[in-house]
Structure 1
Amino acid sequence: MSDKNAKKFIIATIITPIALGAILLSLIYIYDPFQIFHKPYFREATFFADMRKQALGIIKNYEFDSYIIGTSMLENTDSKEAANKLNSDGRWINISLSGSGFNERAVVLDYIFQNQNPKHIIYSLDGYYMVNRPNNSTLDWDFLYNNSLYDDIKIYMNWKFISCAVRFSNQEKCVGNIDDIYQITNWYKNYKEIFGGFDNWIKHKNNDQINPMLINQALINIKNGNIKNIDNQDIIGDIDILAQQDYLHKYLIRFFRDYPDTKFSIIIPTYSRLFYRMQNIETIYNDNSKFFYTWEKSLRYFITQSSSYKNVKVYGFDDLDYADDIANYRDLSHYNKDLNSIQLDAIKNQTNILTPQNIDKYLATLEQKIKSYDIKPFIKALENVEIEQIKQ
């Protein structure tokens, strides 16, 4: 091969691909739709609703020092309202991960604490995830939070984002469609018509914004009488919560211990009374009494453990009348945004705090409210629906 041909070969097989690769990486870095490396260049800031991936850019490139990080139970918590009510505690943002286990949120919390000194964390202690402990091995996004530039760029190494970057597209699918950083997690606006009562559940059970399978199953169980009280107190002594204890320490309690200068406000989500009266909503709830008492025993343990940390307070609202009114819920567990405001008020005014001294009374009140909950109105509502269907 002549020197001339050798040079052409080197240019074609080595230099050109390297140059094209460098150009592509530079373009992706500049485009950066998740804002992982910087705030947007040459376009207005927009965000994706996928907070598992979007949170990284918010934490890195926006000046917040206090975080709301829960499940959908905290997604409607207004971070501006938090800043107003808790004005001495920093600059707030809601980065709640819908449907997240404690293991998932621990990935984000680890990153925050490795790179910042947050003043205050508001966190939801969801009974579902405390009892059932999702598996950490299934995560496909946690690589973003390991402080590796190489891993960060991997999120864009697919046809979707490469084609978006090459066109420097402003399409929603490329850069997200939320232009207000304070509204990324807010789902209330998509569900507000579902609130207001059981009749609205029936009316909107085929609405694509809600979970029709869950509501249909709820209606079927009520209609067929598959509802019971939690009256198996005798089983609580046989419940083993070693797995729940390990889960709590591994993914939450260690943060209290390792970061004593950060304030933690732990919110217990308030599920509806009907939630606890239902059977067979999902396979996992086939034994509703066992679920309740496993949660109860785990919560007692958590209250005892957290009470030894001065930077932690746990807030519970299940002893209020709020959960008695199904009009406050869009399904069995998701409450209206007014309860998020009540939760912030409690943090501000230091009320509704659970301690080892009052947890027995709190849980006894909750259990009694569940046992005495009247389901006759729901049965009547279903009867009326059937009458109307016959008339039609």
Structure 2
Amino acid sequence: MSDKNAKKFIIATIITPIALGTILLSLIYIYDPFQIFHKPYFREVTFFADMRKQALGIIKHYKFDSYIIGTSMLENTDSKEATSKLNSDGRWINISLSGSTFNQRAMVLDYIFQNQNPKHIIYSLDGYYMVNMVNMVNRLSNSTLDWDFLYDNNPYNDIKLYRNSKFMICALKFSDDKGCVGTIDDIYQITNWYKEYKELFGGFDNWIKNKDNGTIKQTLIDIKNGNIKNIEKEDIRDISPQQDYLHKYLIRFFRDYPDTKFSIIIPTYSRLFYLMQNIKGAYSDNSKYFYTWEKSLRYFIAQSSSYKNVKVYGFDDLDYADDIANYKDLPHYNKDLNSFQLDAIKNQTNILTPQNIDKYLATMEQKIKSYDITPFIKALENVEIEQIKQ
């Protein structure tokens, strides 16, 4: 091969691809739709609803010092309301990760604490994930592969988020299409889902009117078919998996960061939720659910009480969970409870301690056992619901 041809070969096979790759990576860096590297250049500020990926940009580039980080049970908590009611504790933002297990949220918390000194964290202690966490961790073991690298404090691998045909094409076009840059223009509304499900609140009649809605369809089928069983006392001997899980993914933060306040919210699932844990469904298939949760919560209260920077708030002893009108499905409550939770933090009410946990759980258990499901069964007697194909 002549020197001239060799030069052409090198240019064609090495220099040109490197140059094109560098240009493309530079373009992706500038485009940066998730704001991983910077706030938007040459476009309006917009956000994605996928908080697992979006949270990093918010933490890095926006001036917040207190975080709401729960599951969907805290997604409707208004961070502006939190700032107003808890104004002495900083400027709040909601970065709740819908459907997140404790280990997933721990990745985000680790990043926050390694890069900031947050004043206050509001966190949901979801009984569903605590009771079922062994299966959850195994089942979801690969579910973080497309985003967990964002929180490893290695900014050089964050570009992996964009190494796919979708975002490369978006970057080449410098598109402002919503599918490329996100649909939300208000940072305070990213996690809010209330409006999307508003028609399901207000009473069981609204569930029936929306009987084909995937959120509640299986629940209605199960009620109609009599798949409901009251809780029966179970002797739960071993909760060591739950204990280990709590220490590994939550309690260690209390210990390691004593200058940060932690307000732990116990999500208030409907009474009906607990009566439907003996069947295989969307939420659980564990007939021992309540008593596993009860013993785990007792343990958590005992452990957290030794940390001055932690308060745990519970609302299951109130009448709120008795009224199905407050729920869009078995676990998800209306946004008014999110406001009430903020009031409790502000006014220091509804706090669970080793001294009152027995009474709290006894009241909760009694309310579940005495819950009357007859009206639901009667309401569905003449309602036709198409069975879900397995």
Aligned-residue RMSD, C-alpha: 1.4
Q: Matched residues in 1 for 2:211 and 2:32: separation?
A: 39
**SS across alignment from 2:380:** helix
Q: Name the counterpart of 1:389.
A: none
Q: Name the counterpart of 2:387.
A: none
Shift of 1:227: 2.0
More helix by share: 1
1:304-358 alpha-carbon deviations (Å, 9 max, x no partner): 0000000000000000000000000000000000000000000000000000000
Decide whether aligned partners of structure 1 residues 9 and 286 sit closer, same or farther in structure 2, where only a CA change above 3 A counts.
Answer: closer
Structure 1 segment 89-100 matched on structure 2, within 5 A: 89-100=89-100
Q: Name the counterpart of 1:105.
A: 105
Match of 1:312 among 310, 313, 317: 310
2:265 partner amino acid: I
Match of 1:204 among 210, 217, 222: 210
Aligned partners of 2:80 and 2:188 also within 8 Å: yes
Using the size of structure 2 for normalisation, the TM-score is 0.94
Aligned partners of 2:211 and 2:220 also within 8 Å: no
**SS across alignment from 1:130:** helix
Aligned partners of 2:128 and 2:284 also within 8 Å: no
Q: Matched residues in 1 for 2:161 and 2:239: separation?
A: 37
Aligned partners of 1:239 and 1:294 also within 8 Å: no
Aligned partners of 2:149 and 2:158 also within 8 Å: yes
Q: Matched residues in 2 for 1:115 and 1:100: separation?
A: 22
Match of 1:187 among 193, 196, 204: 193
Q: Name the counterpart of 2:221.
A: 220
Structure 1 segment 326-337 matched on structure 2, within 5 A: 326-337=324-335
1:306 partner amino acid: S
Q: Name the counterpart of 1:286.
A: 285
Shift of 1:384: 4.9
Q: Matched residues in 1 for 2:329 and 2:89: separation?
A: 33
1:145-193 alpha-carbon deviations (Å, 9 max, x no partner): 1111232001100100000000000111111110100000000010011
**SS across alignment from 2:191:** coil
Match of 2:355 among 348, 354, 357: 357
Structure 1 segment 26-45 matched on structure 2, within 5 A: 26-45=26-45
Match of 1:243 among 228, 241, 244: 241
Q: Name the counterpart of 1:50.
A: 50
Decide whether aligned partners of structure 1 residues 137 and 223 sit closer, same or farther in structure 2, where only a CA change above 3 A counts.
Answer: closer
Poorly superposed stretches of 4+, deviation over 3 Å? 283-287
Q: Name the counterpart of 1:65.
A: 65
Aligned partners of 2:128 and 2:283 also within 8 Å: no
Decide whether aligned partners of structure 1 residues 284 and 47 sit closer, same or farther in structure 2, where only a CA change above 3 A counts.
Answer: closer
1:224-257 alpha-carbon deviations (Å, 9 max, x no partner): 333222122xx22x43100000000000000000
Aligned partners of 1:221 and 1:227 also within 8 Å: yes
Shift of 1:17: 1.3
What runs of 5+ residues in structure 1 fail to find an aligned partner? 387-392
2:344 partner amino acid: A
1:260-306 alpha-carbon deviations (Å, 9 max, x no partner): 00000000000001111123152873343x11000000000000000
Aligned partners of 2:75 and 2:192 also within 8 Å: yes
Percent identical residues = 82
Q: Name the counterpart of 2:372.
A: 374
Using the size of structure 1 for normalisation, the TM-score is 0.93
Q: Matched residues in 1 for 2:285 and 2:167: separation?
A: 43
Q: More displaced, 376-385 or 270-279? A: 376-385
Aligned partners of 1:218 and 1:281 also within 8 Å: no
Q: Name the counterpart of 2:301.
A: 303
Decide whether aligned partners of structure 1 residues 239 and 206 sit closer, same or farther in structure 2, where only a CA change above 3 A counts.
Answer: same
Shift of 1:125: 0.2
Q: Name the counterpart of 2:176.
A: 170
**SS across alignment from 1:226:** coil
**SS across alignment from 2:72:** coil
Decide whether aligned partners of structure 1 residues 302 and 116 sit closer, same or farther in structure 2, where only a CA change above 3 A counts.
Answer: same
**SS across alignment from 1:137:** coil
**SS across alignment from 1:121:** strand
**SS across alignment from 2:242:** helix
Q: More displaced, 8-17 or 290-299? A: 8-17
Q: Matched residues in 1 for 2:120 and 2:282: separation?
A: 37
Q: Name the counterpart of 1:340.
A: 338
Are 1:137 and 2:135 counterparts? no
